[in-house]
């Protein structure tokens, strides 16, 4: 579940080692020049228009283990399977609930991201390649998370039927109302709800402890059990928290990289896309909070997105996003999507590598 504080322990640990390394080698830390490495660029013409950047790349000596290849790798992390289901039936049907006032361009941007998950035609590194990591997770029968994701239905609640302040409990009312109004099917086997709230809707703990979360519906409120995720648009509430690195907290104003330009020119919604990716990866691998997570407390699980929060490329960790790409307009991204779209999406935990990984890795 996406939370600004979820990985405070891990980032603190990263930062501890970073500060030790910086005392030994401050030259690399203070070098603000762009670091350029090799990556599989689709074509020579595209290569001329793409620059690989890693703002203030930390020294390669920074590592929690003897391995320097995989960002986030650590013997301290024990991600375990707790015998519950994953979303393995194909396709995974997403029922999108637009709560509040949403403009057509914002909806289009988010739809394009969701449709990119199954788009094998997008050039590398792609959103579809990123999703392959999520598809590595299996249930007790050996069935993998499906690689096919479909927007199976949509409903717009532009009248704020449950007010402009929601809680973790009233979000179930929003789902129940939308499911009835839109006549969504009871899709237990391969369905999930995705509730997206507009910039003027507040949510319990939003901006303070969460940017998004997922859980499952209660039969007493919705009529049945089905997984769902909620993500809020932070553009006017807390972009420095939930749309980082497109906006920066005040305490980072004079250190680290500057704000990065969002790939689609929308700080709040571009930032929201990464949180959506985070939550989707966790829903499919832990839909009923009894499948894949680290820790012993299912009420506060550390999941495959949490373990890699803030990591977008090679060299990331300790508050550094890692190496990403920048186009000739200065927009920053790390994945290609459907119809020429570009996105900046955080990495997720790879159960085979036991580390964070993404399609734009240069390791």
Q: In this predicted model, what pLDDT tens digit does every residue of 247-285 receive, in sequence order?
A: 988 776 555 557 899 999 999 999 999 999 999 999 999
Residue 250 CB partners (closer than 8 Å, separation 6+): 240
Per-residue pLDDT at 208 exceeds 70: yes
Q: Do residues 2 and 210 lie in contact, with contact meaning Cβ atoms separated by under 8 Å?
A: yes
Six-digit token pair at 78? 């024990």
**245: cis peptide before it, omega within 30°?**
yes
Q: Which residue do the tokens 């807390």 mark?
A: 238
* Torsion region of 250: left, alpha or beta (phi above 0 gives left; psi -120 to 50 gives alpha): alpha
Q: What is the CA radius of gyration of the chain?
A: 20
Query: Which of 16-25, 38-47, 334-343 is predicted least confidently?
Result: 16-25
Place of tokens 């401050």: 26
Length of the chain: 363
Return the pLDDT at 2: 56
Element (H, E) at 105: helix 104-116
CA 107 to CA 274: how far, in whole Å? 15
- The predicted pLDDT at position 249 comes to 83
pLDDT for position 238: 97
- Give residue 62's pLDDT: 39
User: What confidence tens digit (pLDDT) does each residue in 75-109 have?
Assistant: 557 899 999 999 999 999 999 999 999 999 999 99
pLDDT of residue 72: 58
User: What pLDDT, in 10s, does the model give residues 226-252?
Assistant: 999 999 999 999 999 999 999 988 776
Residue 303 Cα to chain centre, angstroms: 12
pLDDT at 22 over 50: no
Closest CA to 200 of 294, 287, 319, 102: 102
pLDDT at 77: 74
Question: Is residue 89 classed as helix, strand or coil in its secondary structure?
Answer: coil
Beta strand segments in 18-160, E: 50-53, 79-81, 92-99, 149-157
Q: Does residue 51 have a pLDDT over 50?
A: yes
**Residues 192-206: pLDDT tens digits?**
999 999 999 999 999
* Stretch 300-306: mean pLDDT: 95
| The pLDDT of residue 67 is above 50 | no
User: CA–CA separation, 242 vs 233, rounded Å?
Assistant: 8
For 320-332, b where at least 16 C-beta lie within 10 A, e where not — what string?
Answer: bbbbbbbeeeebb
- Looking at the chain, the number of H-run helices and the number of E-run strands are 8, 16
């Amino acid at each position: 579940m996406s939370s600004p504080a979820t990985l405070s322990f891990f980032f603190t640990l990263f930062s501890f080692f970073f500060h030790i390394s910086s005392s030994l080698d401050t030259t690399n830390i203070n070098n603000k020049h762009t670091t350029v490495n090799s990556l599989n660029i689709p074509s020579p013409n595209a290569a001329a228009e793409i620059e690989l950047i890693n703002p203030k790349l930390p020294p390669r000596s920074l590592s929690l283990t003897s391995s320097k290849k995989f960002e986030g790798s650590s013997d301290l992390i024990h991600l375990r399977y707790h015998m519950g289901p994953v979303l393995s039936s194909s396709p995974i049907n997403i029922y999108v609930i637009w709560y509040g006032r949403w403009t057509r361009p914002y909806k289009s941007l988010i739809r394009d991201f969701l449709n990119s998950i199954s788009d094998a035609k997008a050039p590398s590194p792609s959103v579809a390649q990123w999703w392959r990591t999520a598809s590595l997770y299996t249930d007790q029968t050996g069935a993998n998370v499906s690689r096919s994701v479909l927007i199976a239905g949509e409903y717009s609640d532009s009248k704020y039927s449950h007010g402009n302040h929601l809680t973790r409990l009233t979000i179930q009312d929003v789902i129940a109302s939308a499911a009835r109004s839109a006549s969504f099917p009871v899709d237990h086997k391969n369905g999930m709800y995705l509730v997206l709230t507009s910039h003027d809707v507040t949510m319990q703990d939003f901006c303070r402890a969460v940017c998004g979360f997922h859980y499952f519906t209660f039969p007493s409120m919705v009529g049945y059990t089905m997984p769902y995720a909620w993500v809020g648009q932070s553009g006017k509430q807390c972009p420095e928290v939930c749309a980082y690195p497109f906006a920066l907290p005040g305490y980072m104003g004079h250190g680290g990289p500057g704000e990065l330009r969002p790939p689609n020119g929308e700080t709040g919604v571009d930032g929201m896309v990464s949180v959506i990716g985070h939550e989707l990866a966790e829903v499919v691998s832990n839909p009923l909070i009894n499948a894949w997570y680290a820790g012993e407390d299912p009420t506060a699980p550390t999941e495959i997105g949490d373990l890699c929060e803030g990591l977008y490329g090679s060299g990331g960790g300790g508050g550094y996003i890692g190496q990403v790409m920048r186009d000739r307009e200065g927009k920053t991204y790390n994945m290609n999507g459907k119809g020429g779209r570009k996105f900046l999406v955080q990495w997720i935990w790879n159960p085979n590598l036991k580390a964070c990984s993404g399609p734009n890795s240069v390791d």
